[in-house]
Each structure stands twice: as structure tokens, then as C-alpha cells.
Structure 1
């Protein structure tokens, strides 16, 4: 005899576990299916293992960080904003705090604290957890969910929550099976791109600056149709290109362009937002303070040593030259390079290194008031499987928790 559940949750990540808890607290019989041997695999890696759960932005500003589709989150955040999330975790024994006033972490700064507490709460509520169970088919009858099949079992249910995540970090279980399950029931997905990841540059000089971190760098796309795309934050040079918080945020805009154009030209302000006039004044002031100072030493007052050498090289200036020794053309080139260093993005490591997926199940096919499918009754979505992604800083995890909590209400 096939066992019947009020709800089957597919995927035991952040969204899926919170959805299961919400439903179980409402006295629903809940089965949680996870294809990996343990729950919370990707959650364990979040924030370098420190687990940046959310941030302290109010909902309106929070939604704006997701772009034009951010309003889709309104009902979920009304139900479960960052304050309610912190209260939720306190209710299951996890204290949280925001040491920098913005990013919220468990006070343990350990993702294992979050995972173990969520699992304990599920078990306390009687949620049945089956791991190493890959869902192969969702069955519907007359427009209603009726059964879930795995490679070895079948389960009857009138409600399914798809919380399978995206394509990022396949070693943590992501392979896009949720998109396939949704597609079989008539749902469509947008194009899928890796996001929140390092980027590769055509320019090889970056490898000489691997020890350098540039604070408050400003990146902008230098292509006619996309000049409005920009980001600001800390930048780190790598052996093959660039990474750091600003790059992780900017990658979600860049990867679709690489797919379309193969190369994406960007400009980087390395001087904390100083414009060309500011930089010229700074250079003159430094030269006036010490007329014998070399151009390399003057540039070093703005940038780390190795990067200063590369900038001088890009501007065709000898490192030991004095300001009075260089031509006006060289000076202008140096100032322009400092304010707008050109780089060409030519690639990335694909979904292997992507923390999130840009794209997913079309939001037009999902009711934002309860996360239920507009096509199939009893089918719900939450988390990364949907076409909604945000920047670094707890945005995506908050969205996973909030959408999971709303979906779990089965309203």
C-alpha cells in the first residue's frame, strides 16, 4: 500500500527544510525527500561556512536589490522578513546577531548550528526525512498533484513543494532536476546562467597582482547597450582574472553577456571613486611634496605595490621617471588608466564554481501570494529554482527561507 502524506517536499536545503517545518507546525503530515546522503549540503557551504542568513535591510530596499522582479517577493517578506527569521531561529534554539550592523549570522558563525537545529525541529515535529532519494516524476491528475515517484518508492500526496535549487555547485547535488520535473508538468524556465562567481580576463597582467585587494573598486560595462550596468565593492586579482565581493555581485550581469558576445569589456575605477580631476590633483600634490619622487612611488600612494607597477606599464611610463619628465600624453594616459582601467572578461568556471543560478522557473507561472503554481493545483515552488536571484550579503538565503516559509503554509 502506498503511503499518503499531506505534503511532500523535494529538496532538503534552506527553503525545503523551512517549508517542511512550517507545514508540520500546521499539523500536516510531511515527507522530506533529499537525493544526497545528508540534508543541508549547500547550506553548510554558505558564507564560507559562517552562514550569512540574511541582512537588516527593510523589505522595500531589500526587494530593490533583486531588480525589476523584486516585487514578486513582497508577500513572502511580509510573512517572513529578517526580523521574523531571527525570531524563528531563536524559537529553535539558534541565537543570531549582526556584528557589522548589516549581515546576520548565527552567533556560532557556523552553518552546522543552523543545519542541526533545523533537522532537530523537523524530527521533533514528526517530519519524515528520507535521504538518498532522487525524485524521478511528479504525477498529476485532472490538474492536481497526486503522486511522487523516486527511483525506488512512490508516495501519494495532494501537495508538493519543489525546493531543488539551481545548477550551482553540482558537487553539492545541483543538477537541474527540479527544472525537468516542473517542465514535465507544463512549466517553462528562462535561460539559466551561472552567477556569483570569479571571472576570467583576457589581460594576463592581473596574475602579477594576486596579493592585491582593492577596496571600493567600481566596475562598469563598457559596451554601448549596457553602460548602465555597474557595481561597487572590494576587488581581488587572481591568476586568471578577478574575484571578490564586487565581482561575485557583478557576475550575474556579465555571464549572460559572455554567452551572447564571447567578450565583455569593462572599466574598473581602482581609486575608491576618485575621478580624473581628483587623481590629477593628488598626483600634483604628491609631486609638490617631494619633487624627486618617482611616478611609481606617487602611484603607490593610491595603489598596492605590484598593481602600481602594472599601471605604470599600461600607461607606458618608466617607474623611475619624475612627473616633470613625462609628457602630457603619458600623464593623461596614467590618470585615465587609474580612473578607468580596461579589462576584458572572456570567461568563467561555469556552474562548477557558481554559488547561485541566474534564471529559473518563470515567475509568471507562480502565484506570489502563496508560491503555488498557476498551472497545477498543489504544486509549490521555493528558493533558487525560481527566476529570482540577488547579490551577496544574505539576500538569496533570506529569499529561500521566506519563500519556503510561505510555500509551507499551503494556502
Structure 2
């Protein structure tokens, strides 16, 4: 076996890959960064619609809890590199950030290219060797110890490899699941993979008539016995074929696995800021001199009012009190919890992240090193950790990349 050319080879130039290479190089390691596309950070460029929501201001504990049962795994990484540390790191590389809403952190430019260019300059400053348009096809491993990588045109050798290849989301930007295949080939378990943070397609066609409207603070629940406790709240947007918006992007990670199991996932959506049936009856009573359209327009867009009235057979030009009792009852119930049925999603091509990945049970949370293969590290989305919208996943990428780059054994 050829002697090592590098101390570390990083595969992938997302947030996790670039920061891991920088941290290792700052500590005197000779580092090679391989990116299969011809530019660095292709997925990072698209983050937050290009505005790059970097992180948020939650406490460490609340941040980890937002990732569910797997959140505790990130304790060491977040303690070492939380949102304050990320802001400081970015300031070091001359990126100013701000928190316009008191929660989400952005570069002041609101442009992801600002982050990519700054990271690239720092990679160059600390002498990381960068090879773009260099696809790694396999890892070289002997006696459960990493030796190097097999690329398209030649092999590169190092005793440490960081797999920062991301998941399957945004496949048009280069995501192809290579990292999962590398890990699997070396004995790692890959949990079930599902697209997450993506729009959903509904059976109901009426949503197309409401596509120009956004519903603030909508609450979504799943109407399945084993998932009744699951819910999410946030802005909802109707599309020509279904629903999207922050609440859907967040909740889709719960729905896509159920969709594979049941083919249809029934939902209940409250679009009136959590009001219950009694409160809605009181609302109609308060505006009893107005017709249904006029009364409900204080709570819902007119397009949505018309569609719900059509569903229950109510004339929206009539006053609420003039409807038959059964129709009034049905209208109130349907407004409070509007039924929708998810029948499909837009797939990994438009999914922002992947639910599932390399099993956390086989990764040391104190180092990000494999428990199976010496010298093999993972960071970012390739692992079985994904969070909601709002800078969670990017913060995790930076934090896990920072820890992996220290090459702690």
C-alpha cells in the first residue's frame, strides 16, 4: 500500500465538508477536499432559497430537542460549536451576520454565495487542496482501517476520511447517496431513507383554486390512529396540486414514511389560528348581520371560504343563521378541521433534506468517527439526523463538521 499523501481526505463540499477541512487544516493537517461538481457548495447555494438561513438562537437544549429522539446524539458537537460559535467563526472569515426576526440568523447580504466564497477563501488560506469535478467512487479500507479513496482518474491516500456527501435531497445539485453506499459497503447500517422538507400532493383538487393564498399559523394533524399525537403549526400555502409552506416542509418528514406504508395519509388542518367549534359559533353570532363570506373573511381568504362552503353544500351568500342546522354544524366542523388527503410528494428531486441515514448507534458522538472502521468519520446530512426549517440542519452540518475536523480518536 502506498504511503499516505494526506492526513485527511474530505468527500463533499457542503457546509459540513468545508468546515471540517478548514478545522483540520488549521490544526496543521494536510487536507484534500474532493467535490464531484465543478463548483463548491452546490446545495449550500440553494439553502433557504439562496438567502442562507444559517442557524437560530435557540438554547442548546431546545435546539437538540427540535430533532426528536435522536437529538441527544448531537450534544458534544453542539456544546463545542453552537450558534454563537458559528457566528464567531463566520466573523473570523469576514462574514457579518444578523438576526432580523430575533430568531433566524442570516448573512447580512441574505445571499448564500457570501458564505460559499468566504469558506472557499479560508480553505485556500489554510492550504486545503481542492479538487473539483472529482467524483469519489469508493473507499480503500484494509483490516477495518481507512487507507484512502478511489476517484475517477486516480487513487488518493490518507489515514482519515470524512464523508460529508449529504443525503438524497436536491439530486439535481449532485446528491446521489454515495455516502450511504460507502458506509454500507464497510458494514454500517443505513436506516430507511425518505424525502423530507418538500411539498405534498393532495387528493383534493379544490386546493388549486386557492393557490394564491397563504394561511398564517395553520395547524396540521394526521388522522391516523398511530399518528394522532403528531402535529405542526406554521404558514400553509396552497399549490396547483397540493400544499407547501413552512408547516408542510417541517411536517413532511412525518408524512412521507406513512405515505409509503398507507398510500394515503388523511390530515386535518385548522386554518383559523386554533379556534375551536364553540369559538367559531361565537364568531358567527358576533357578526350575525353579515353573510357567511363576509363573516369568515375576517378569518380566511375568500377563495378558501368558497371551497369549504362548496364542500358542505352551504351558500356563502346566506347568513349563517339562515342555513339548516345540519349544514351549520357541518360547516363549523369543516372549517375548524378541514380534511385533506396526501397521496404523493414531489420526491427527492425537490426534497431539501433526507430523513434517515447512517445509523447513529455506529458513530461516536464525541468524535464523529465510525465505531466500525478506524479513521472513517461522518458529518452533516449523511447521518440519521434531520431537523425542521429555520437553520437547524445547517447548524448541525457546521457543528458536526467542526467536530469531525478535529480528527479526535
Q: TM-score range by the shorter chain?
A: over 0.9
Measured after TM superposition, the shift of residue 315 of structure 1 is: 2.0
**Counterpart position of 1:404:** 401
User: Which ranges in structure 1 are unaligned for 5 or more consecutive residues?
Assistant: none
Q: Does 1:355 align with 2:355?
A: no
Q: Distance in 2 between matches of 1:145 and 1:322?
A: 74
> Matched residue pairs, number?
407
CA RMSD, aligned part only?
A: 0.9
**Counterpart position of 1:160:** 161
Q: Distance in 1 between matches of 2:110 and 2:25?
A: 28
Q: Distance in 1 between matches of 2:366 and 2:102?
A: 30
**Runs of 4 or more consecutive aligned structure 1 residues displaced over 2 Å after TM superposition:** none
User: Following superposition of structure 1 onto structure 2, how do residues 118-129 of structure 1 map, counting pairs within 5 Å?
Assistant: 118-129=119-130
Residues 132-152 of structure 1, C-alpha deviations (whole Å, 9 max, x = no match): 111111111222111211011
**Counterpart position of 1:283:** 284
User: Following superposition of structure 1 onto structure 2, how do residues 39-118 of structure 1 map, counting pairs within 5 Å?
Assistant: 39-118=40-119
The normalised TM-score by structure 1 is: 0.98
The normalised TM-score by structure 2 is: 0.98
**Counterpart position of 2:31:** 30
CA contact (8 A) 1:34 1:132 kept: yes
User: Following superposition of structure 1 onto structure 2, how do residues 9-408 of structure 1 map, counting pairs within 5 Å?
Assistant: 9-287=10-288, 290=289, 293-408=290-405
Aligned partner of residue 105 in structure 1, secondary structure: strand
User: Which ranges in structure 2 are unaligned for 5 or more consecutive residues?
Assistant: none
Residues 6-64 of structure 1, C-alpha deviations (whole Å, 9 max, x = no match): 00000011100000000001000000000000100000000111100000001100001
- In terms of mean alpha carbon deviation, does 244-253 or 311-320 score higher? 311-320
CA contact (8 A) 1:54 1:104 kept: yes
CA contact (8 A) 1:20 1:127 kept: yes
Measured after TM superposition, the shift of residue 115 of structure 1 is: 0.2
Residues 100-122 of structure 1, C-alpha deviations (whole Å, 9 max, x = no match): 00000001111010000000000
Aligned partner of residue 287 in structure 2, secondary structure: helix
